[in-house]
């Protein structure tokens, strides 16, 4: 097996949609360039700002009845109200719709018609 290069077991790890790459094997975590540092600092700033807003509301002496999480509202809205307006019949969606929605309907209808 001289032609096959010997890989370490870490390099043989292949992430997919079921498992993710651990941070120890991810080359991007070793990157300490200034751009990455600035990006991390910006993310931290956003996080800190949100934490501050939340803490102010949480420890408010005259508290509001409910601390509403806008991210949660947006998530719920996106999954319920925003699907129909943004849906567009494309070859892929109409094919999937046929296979998963119309297909079983016709399949079971014919089965019941033929077998009973």
Partner 1 sequence: SQMTQDMLPGPYPRTPEERAVAAKKYNMRVEDYEPYPDDGFGYGDYPKLPDKSHHERDPWYQWDQPDMRHNWGEPMHWDFDMYTRNRVDTSPTVVPWHIMRRHFLIFLGTMLVMFGIGGMYPSYMPVGPKQYPFNDLYLERGGDPNKEPPVVTHYEI
CA 98 – CA 23 distance, rounded (Å): 41
Contacting residue, 85, 105, 112, 116, with partner 1 by CB under 8 A: 85
Report in angstroms how near the CB of residue 112 gets to partner 1 at its nearest: 31
Instruction: Give the list of residues 6+ apart from residue 22 with CB closer than 8 angstroms, or none.
Output: 13
Nearest to partner 1 of 52, 111 (CB atom): 52
Contact footprint for partner 1 (CB under 8 A): 12-22, 25, 39, 42-43, 46-47, 50-51, 53-54, 67-75, 77-79, 82-90, 92-93
């Amino acid at each position: 097996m001289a032609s096959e290069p010997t890989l370490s077991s870490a390099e043989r790890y292949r992430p997919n949609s079921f498992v993710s790459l651990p941070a120890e094997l991810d080359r991007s975590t070793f990157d300490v360039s200034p751009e990455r540092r600035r990006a991390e600092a910006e993310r931290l700033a956003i996080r800190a700002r949100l934490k501050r807003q939340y803490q102010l509301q949480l420890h408010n002496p005259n508290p509001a009845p409910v601390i509403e999480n806008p991210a949660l509202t947006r998530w719920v809205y996106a999954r319920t109200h925003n699907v129909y307006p943004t849906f567009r019949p494309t070859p892929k969606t109409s094919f999937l719709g046929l296979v998963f929605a119309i297909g079983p309907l016709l399949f079971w209808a014919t089965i019941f018609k033929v077998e009973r």
